[in-house]
Amino acid sequence: MLVSNSDAIAAALRELPATPLCVGYSGGLDSSVLLHALAASPRARRQGLRAWHVHHGLHAQADDWARHCQEFCRSNELELTVSRVSVARDAGDGPEAAARRARHAAFESGLGAGETLILAHHRDDQAETLLLRLLRGSGSTGLASMTPWRACGEGRLWRPLLSVPRAALLAYAHSHGLRWIDDPSNDDDRYDRNFLRNRVMPLLRERWPQADASFALSARLAGESEHLLDEEDALALAAVRSLDPQALSRAALRKLPVSRRARVLRRWIAGLGLPPLPTQGVIQIESQLLDARADAEAEFAWQGAVVHAWRDLLHAQMHKPPLAEDWQTPWDGRAPLALPDGGEWRLEGADAFDAPGVAHARRGGERIVLPGRAHGHMLRKVLQDLGVPPWERRRLPLLSSPQGEVLAVGDVAVSARMDAWLRGCGGRLTLVGG
């Protein structure tokens, strides 16, 4: 029995999640069909169905597109959110990828708690994504292409139309008299996806009419395999974790098979919310970080993030610059001290220091008299013994007396004199943010 285009779309939307619903609405064919079909559902409306248009500002007609979306939503009595985003044009991987990042960043930050963001990617999109991933040499994670569900900010993202061909969406739009936006950039074959869509896929369909369905099936099967691998990855990651979620044991990592280790590293980085670890990053960690000397400062940096190797651990975080050597400022403790990296140094539990001091960066050669000691110790050695990594040491502010006596090092060490004073007044020093 033949299934109508409307029935195929209705079937794809049958399992609506019981959450508030938001459609990512560009005004193009795909999202227009998705929004129209959902607007026809009394249940979707009861669940607070709304639309969200991201204005990238990349095209001369972008304002007209936003107005088109507003008119469509007004005529269908739907709430519309319009977000204007700034797209980094010099990101290095093209305007399409930069626009996608900006769009998803807006979704991640603006989606309501528990809300479901619904996107209109369809079977043809999935086939193109699989081909792009194959051409980039992706493994099973990449070949799974677009997944139907994933986390998104405080809610979830859903792609219900991945099994529906674009032809069905086009037929639906014509049968319901829908108007939509045609982005002229979709005809520009300089972009990889457009080249595949406009020139490669038509040739493949001539020979293999079911090419789109076959590619989408391969992506689904890869996704199923990926799910099984993912469960094992979670167990392996738990086995190599340290008490600090941003650090993994190098010794434990070395016991894993190389292929599993690569997956564990990528999962760890993703879980920290850092940019995806590139293939070169895995290679660098394998060749230079895993077996680096315990006292070495080996690292791999990418897209503002960095993995350091120190002692037995790998540490991952966004790169944070050290304090400038010439940074210094008076501080009496009455108000939090703003630090150059955006953080604050605070005196809590006391109104002010008994005498004002000078906050400054480390310059090398400092000594500190620790509580219970009669003689000063090299600050470098004290921080080493406390297990403070080298890159963190360079960011720690020092508090010294006007005479140059080191009184405190961030919130990790205080001098005997400062310790006695803090104990006497019930105060403590803390670093916040940054």
Binding-site residues sit at: 26-31
Closest Cα to residue 322, out of 397, 244, 380, 379?
397
Closest Cα to residue 148, out of 126, 169, 170?
126
Measured distance CA(183)–CA(18) in Å, rounded: 33
240 backbone dihedrals φ, ψ, rounded to 5°: -110, 0
Structure tokens at 330: 């008076």
220, 123 Cβ separation under 8 angstroms: no
66, 53 Cβ separation under 8 angstroms: yes
Helices (H) and strands (E) in the chain, counts: 17, 20
The CA-CA-CA angle for residues 225, 226, 232, to 5°, reads 100
Measured distance CA(54)–CA(27) in Å, rounded: 10
Q: Name residue 125's amino acid.
A: D
* 3-class secondary-structure state, position 219: helix
> What residues contact 177, with CB distance under 8 A and at least 6 apart?
none
Q: What is the 8-class DSSP label of residue 287? A: I
381 backbone dihedrals φ, ψ, rounded to 5°: -70, -40
* Pairing between β-strand 116-118 and β-strand 79-84 as defined by DSSP bridges: unpaired
How many C-beta atoms lie closer than 10 Å to residue 150's C-beta?
A: 11
Structure tokens at 363: 């310059």
Q: Residues at the annotated binding site for ATP?
A: 26-31
